[in-house]
Amino acid sequence: MPQIRFENVVKLFDGREVLSGVSFAVEKGEMLAIAGPSGTGKSVTLKHLVRLLTPTSGSVWLDDVEISSATGTELATIRNRFGYLFQGGALLGWLTVEENVALPLREHGGYDEDEISKRVTEALEAVDLSDAADLYPAEISGGMQKRAGLARAIVRRNDIILYDEPTSGLDPVTSTTINRLIRRLNKERGITSIVVTHDLQGALLFADRVLMLKNGRVAEVSKPEEFVRSSNPDVREFLDAQFITPDLLEKRL
Ligand SMILES: Nc1ncnc2c1ncn2[C@@H]1O[C@H](COP(=O)(O)OP(=O)(O)OP(=O)(O)O)[C@@H](O)[C@H]1O
Ligand SMILES: [Mg+2]
């Protein structure tokens, strides 16, 4: 059974339909990229997994638990399974980088100071931010803020991590570094990874499968080799707009 399942999820906000029957599944240890135009419901989709939102109809599942109807401790347990890189990073301005990264450990509780320090150091090293540990968010660049958010998302070593636009606004070199890091965590630690991104090229080069969301529907979900050859007009338009051709995949690692 897949680890995560969306079953015909419809989501309305004030009568306006944003998701119009979204279904897909993610296997344990898989890296799924979700791409699609702005405002199409990508972030809304992710938020259903940690129940920041609930479906108007349909259901969302983690293993055999329906996330949308979980209550109390069951819900807390579900939320604890996920690491989350929020779109925009959302670092707290009055805390240093190091303190921001330590936050999920402190909020969750049960980690002693030595363990916190060890994990924060490890997470900062992973994103190459060790030198910025004592700086405040306002004192570092946008790309460094992204990486700090990434360190915070991985610090609890969750087995599922949701990344909402981890590379937007970054230069190409930093983007590739981050894509590599996400892929490495996915492969080496078997972390199930859902990556929302506008970077279709990165998605095709690093993910196991790519899902394209358009007008609140899954237009396509397939492996990169199939995705680049899709005859779906929405997918073609998206690929052509970014000048992507099948030979891109020769660069896959
Ligand atoms: N809490 C909310 N209340 C009302 N409308 C919302 C809410 N959250 C999202 N929306 C609307 O749902 C639509 C989809 O939003 P979403 O954030 O999922 O887009 P997106 O695909 O992530 O776009 P982008 O690529 O720009 O981040 C938008 O029209 C947005 O205004
Ligand atoms: Mg979004």
Nearby residues for ligand 2 (ion, Cβ within 5 Å): 42-43, 87
For ligand 1, atom 19: residue with the closest CA: 39
CATH number of the domain at 164, please.
Answer: 3.40.50.300
Number of domains into which the chain is organized: 1
DSSP code string of 189-242: H--EEEEE-S-HHHHHHH-SEEEEEETTEEEEEE-HHHHTT---HHHHHHHHHT
Count CA atoms within 13 Å of residue 34 on its CB side.
27
Return d(Cα 124, Cα 151) in angstroms, integer.
6
Q: How many angstroms does the Cα of residue 164 sit away from the middle of ligand 2?
A: 7
Residue in this structure with the two tokens 């030595």, named with its chain if needed: 114
Predicted pLDDT at 108: 86
Q: How many angstroms does the Cα of residue 38 sit away from the middle of ligand 1?
A: 8
Return d(Cα 161, Cα 235) in angstroms, integer.
26
Q: Is 190 in the pocket of ligand 1 (CB under 6 A)?
A: no
Closest CA to 216 of 48, 68, 51, 3: 48
Burial class (CB in 10 A: 0-12, 13-18, 19+), 95: middle
Radius of gyration of the chain (CA): 18
What's 158's DSSP letter? -
Task: Report the atom number in ligand 1 closest to the C-alpha of 45.
Answer: 18
Predicted pLDDT at 127: 87
For ligand 1, atom 24: residue with the closest CA: 38
Q: Which residue range(s) make up the domain with 139? A: 4-251
Q: How many angstroms does the Cα of residue 39 sit away from the middle of ligand 1?
A: 5
What's 171's DSSP letter? -
What's 132's DSSP letter? G
Predicted pLDDT at 13: 97
Q: Is 154 in the pocket of ligand 1 (CB under 6 A)?
A: no
Pocket residue to mutate for ligand 1, from 18, 87, 165, most atoms within 8 A of Cβ: 18
Q: How many angstroms does the Cα of residue 35 sit away from the middle of ligand 1?
A: 14
CB 228 within 8 A of CB 51: no
Q: How many angstroms does the Cα of residue 110 sit away from the middle of ligand 2?
A: 32
Return d(Cα 235, Cα 220) in angstroms, integer.
7
Closest CA to 48 of 2, 10, 96: 10
For ligand 1, atom 20: residue with the closest CA: 39
pLDDT digits (tens), the chain, 253 positions: 899 999 999 999 999 999 999 999 999 999 999 999 999 999 999 999 999 999 999 999 999 999 988 888 888 889 889 999 887 767 999 999 999 999 999 988 889 999 999 999 999 998 889 999 999 999 998 888 988 999 999 999 899 999 999 988 888 888 898 899 899 999 999 999 999 998 899 999 999 999 999 999 999 999 999 999 999 999 999 999 999 999 999 988 7
Phi-psi region of 135 (alpha: psi -120 to 50; beta: other; left: phi over 0): beta
DSSP code string of 36-104: --TTSSHHHHHHHHTTSS--SEEEEEETTEEGGG--HHHHHHHHHHEEEE-TT----TTS-HHHHHHHH
